[in-house]
Amino acid sequence: MVNTLENIQTLSKEAIELLKNLIETPSFSKEEEHTAKLLADFFEKKNIPFHTKKNNLWAYNKHFDPSKPTMLLNSHHDTVKPNKSWTLDPFKAIEQDGKLYGLGSNDAGGCLVSLIATFCYFYERKDLTYNVAIATTAEEEISGKEGLEIVAPELPEIAFAIVGEPTEMHLAVAEKGLLVLDCTAKGISGHAAREEGDNAIYKALKDIQWITEYKFPKVSPTLGPIKMSVTIINAGTQHNVVPDACTFTIDVRVTEQYTLEEVISEIKANIQSEVVPRSIRLRPSSIPMEHPIVMEGLKLGRTAYGSPTTSDQALLDCPSLKMGPGHSARSHSADEFIYLHEIEEGIAQYIKMVEGVVTR
């Protein structure tokens, strides 16, 4: 068993080199085939068998035992497109002043390579009470349907998961789900100069007022209340025609206190407009504070909190913890970077936490 500080340092060097290669290989959502090949090459060089589907890759520990529970390590290798404010080449891995610059370095390349290093650390171990699986997945940045969603059914039952996103290695023990609702208020058209028609805008405004004022009674201890925001509104064709339709979109951030279906039903019961959800895939997720992986993180002095943003956790039907090296404020920003020490410390912390669970 080669569980030494020297081994962790070697894994850190390999992880940083892999991250540099990933940065220099464009991998926009739905266009991740080249980074998928890079990851496949990495596992092949490590003599680790793996499975692929579309631009996703997953693997299991060498001594996988179907009778044992399985923990999953997951992060994504797709990126957003660089914004126009970049002053550096987003596809060049630039190491400077202890930082590694490049598109996807922080979100979520640092997390991904740190979890891969953690998986490699445990790969040969025979003393594990859990199996360890790794899934490197696509399309996370667009909540796409050909990423983790098509990998999850291929996996064995997952007891719990760590999802790699930049949290400064703090513990996101809950995450809000997302509902996007397209609504249509219907009226009757008429001439604006006469008392004709039934103005759909006025109907929509009454519904929007309810959305603005309504508070769902159950409040999450970690995520707070459900948050509803009207973010798009459209109506009318010209100034002298009373509009017969007004469409608006509601962004709803849902806590674990409600199912998505319950939230939709409550909204439909209280507004006149037609309500059509775009999807009910992105569900809220959480993990109990008393879960062993959370307890191991707390022992290391990390803070537990609820995350208002969504990730691939929403696609997992098991307790899941979101955590990883890097800072969420750097995600999608110009001249994105991650500190090299964040990767090294992240790998060490992941290993300590997982060790405390999978060797019990």
pLDDT at 6: 74
Sign of the dihedral defined by the CA atoms of residues 40, 44, 45, 46, in that order: positive
pLDDT category of residue 195 using cuts at 50, 70 and 90: confident
Beta pairing, strands 94-96 & 99-101: antiparallel
Angstrom distance (rounded) from CA 357 to CA 360? 6
305: exposed, middle or buried (Cβ count in 10 Å: 0-12, 13-18, 19+) = middle
Residue 2 has pLDDT above 80, yes or no: no
pLDDT at 1: 41
Q: Provide the β-strand partners of residue 177.
A: 254
Task: Taking residues 193-211, report their average pLDDT.
Answer: 96
Angstrom distance (rounded) from CA 172 to CA 163? 10
pLDDT at 288: 95
**Residue with the two structure tokens 């949290």:** 167
List phi, psi (to 5°) of 35: -70, -30
> How many helices (H) and strands (E) in the chain?
8, 18
Q: Measure Cα distances from 14 to 45, 158, 245 in Å.
A: 12, 28, 58
Query: Are both 4-175+284-358 and 177-277 of the same fold?
Result: no
Angstrom distance (rounded) from CA 306 to CA 253? 12
Residue 3 has pLDDT above 80, yes or no: no
Pick the CATH number of 4-175+284-358 from 3.40.50.150, 3.40.50.740, 1.10.645.10, 3.40.630.10: 3.40.630.10
Percent pLDDT > 70 in the chain is 99
162: exposed, middle or buried (Cβ count in 10 Å: 0-12, 13-18, 19+) = buried
pLDDT at 207: 98
Q: Dump pLDDT digits (tens) for 128-176.
A: 999 999 999 999 999 999 999 999 999 999 999 999 999 999 999 999 9
Q: Dump pLDDT digits (tens) for 303-347.
A: 999 998 889 999 999 999 999 999 999 999 999 999 999 999 999
Q: List helix spans (H) across 271-339.
A: 292-299
**Residue with the two structure tokens 């997390």:** 111
Angstrom distance (rounded) from CA 16 to CA 350? 16
**Residue with the two structure tokens 């992240």:** 346
Q: Domain locations in the chain?
A: 4-175+284-358, 177-277
How high does pLDDT run on average in the chain? Answer: 96
Q: Of 72, 63, 283, 52, which is closest to residue 158 (Cα–Cα)? A: 72
pLDDT category of residue 4 using cuts at 50, 70 and 90: low
CATH code: domain 177-277 is 3.30.70.360
Cβ pair 223, 255 in contact under 8 A? yes
Cβ pair 107, 193 in contact under 8 A? no
